[in-house]
Amino acid sequence: MPRPVIGIATQTLPAVVGERPACWIMGFRYIEALRLAGAVPWVIPLLPHDPDTMRAIFERLDGVFLTGGVDVDPSRYNEPRHPLCGTTDHDRDAVEIMLLEYALETHLPVLAVCRGIQILNVACGGTLYQDVSAQVPAAMKHDYFPTPENPSRNYLAHDISVKPGTRLGEILGESVVSVNSMHHQAIKDLATGLRPSAFAPDGIIEAVEGTNGQYIVAVQWHPEELAETQPGMKRLFTTFIEAAAA
């Protein structure tokens, strides 16, 4: 069977005068996780003002992968900007929402991680906590971002509880799983058409999936950093690629 083509929207890297022009970038760990699972990764430029080109790209895709990155702009879910909302990327928001609209329209498989679960929820009509620590007083620590002193991205920060009878539960094969955690935003109001499939101990939604049979799986952690050591995380990618190949 031909290797499926998986689209990955990029992120804007602003210009630095005298060093580089503005660029579109994407982390290589995401690309490698897809390649190793058998996909052909297609890195997508941010051209929200050229829908014809975006549609032409989409028509060549077999699946959409949404990655981590900067915060989703709160204007996308009609909320004022919180002081702790971080850097945003309007073009990336627009392109990923466009890709999701295409994917939902044609039932194309979708896998989303970290920021990806957030933009999926927003695209489907949900809202976000702009900063979990500030807006959810009872929340545990979720923002285990790498530092020069502790650069690891595979640190297992906390457990999640996986709901039985879900697609995610079938993929992971366990009801309690240890995950890494590098986020400060999270789902607040869950969108119609999505159902939660995993929770952190403090009740924060850690995974969602579609409700109509389409392959839509989204997680708040970073499985691309764990796929080499945890079989369940590897299966997140292989089942997605199998769905795209079909």
Helix 51-58 to helix 90-106 angle (10° resolution) is 50
Instruction: Let me know if 158 is a catalytic residue.
Output: no
What CA–CA distance (Å, rounded) separates 67 from 111? 9
Instruction: Let me know if 222 is a catalytic residue.
Output: yes
Instruction: Let me know if 224 is a catalytic residue.
Output: yes
Catalytic residue, chosen from 142, 183, 184, 222, is 222
53 dihedral zone (left: phi>0; alpha: psi -120 to 50; beta): alpha
- Say which amino acid occupies 117: I
Catalytic residue, chosen from 96, 206, 224, 225, is 224
Catalytic residue, chosen from 114, 158, 183, 206, is 114
What CA–CA distance (Å, rounded) separates 122 from 235? 26
Q: What amino acid positions are annotated as catalytic residues?
A: 114, 222, 224
